[in-house]
Amino acid sequence: MIEGFRLGVFSRGTTLWDGLDFAFGDAAAWFIAGPPSSGKTLLLAILRGERRPDAGDVVVSGESLYRGNASLARAWRASCGHVPEQAAADARLTVGDLFRRSALAGGGVRESERKSRAARLLEMVGLRGASEWRVAELSISERVRACLAAELLRGPKVLFCDGVVAGAGVPCREMLWGLFRALAREGNTVVLAERTIPERWALAAGDAEPVGPFRVYRLPAKGGPG
């Protein structure tokens, strides 16, 4: 369980939001929709333990991320996966390099295991044989999917995705819908932040809980997208 208590952020000389309460239960896929510049990326950074909120606290499984032991916060970050809105575009990097450093962050995955899992994950996100492709030469959709696949290599317990659904594009929505719910069924937690939720996903998720400028949906574990 990830809980945010009375979270507040002051940015650019003004209060972006304050006093927000969140509760993301385990083994579920959560969808946070919010307008541009509402602080979705900031919220994910705060929930990941990367950025201390200007007010409030984040509690993970009963432990404070920002007021507790620093090693606990590090362990939490190590257990998280993160697909950023702006994926790495380093000219040197290949898709295989993304997997390599993801494996490194995970404390070491055997080379042979990494290669076979990377091939399976790339195939799953529609990028079969992309291991040697340069990230800088990929489209935005391909880049987002490659980063997502690389994060999944470590099998993170909690996956934060920033703009992944929009970045991956409409043709990949069905795949992502199935993937996120499958992850949730396996006991993982997925937190998605997007500007808008796809209409069919919103229909399937039902009523959203309004939290400040955001609307929080819980994606259903079973059933099709609307």
CA distance 209 to 211: 6
Q: Report CA-CA distances (Å) from 147 to 28, 55, 113, 155, 184.
A: 21, 31, 18, 13, 19
Does residue 7 bind another protein (CB under 8 A)? no
Q: Which residue has the tokens 């995955």?
A: 109
CA distance 171 to 173: 6
**Cβ of residue 151: shortest distance to another protein, in angstroms?**
9
Does residue 104 bind another protein (CB under 8 A)? yes
Q: Which residue has the tokens 């195939």?
A: 123
Among 6, 15, 67, 78, binds another protein (CB under 8 A): 78
- Stretch 36-75: interaction string toward another protein, x if CB under 8 A: ------------x-x-----------------------xx
First-to-last CA distance in the chain?
27
Please work out the total of residues on this chain that contact another protein, with binding judged by CB under 8 A.
28
Does residue 143 bind another protein (CB under 8 A)? no
Q: Which two tokens stand for residue 189?
A: 């937690």
Footprint of another protein (CB under 8 A):
48, 50, 74-82, 88, 90, 92-93, 97, 100-101, 103-106, 108-112, 114
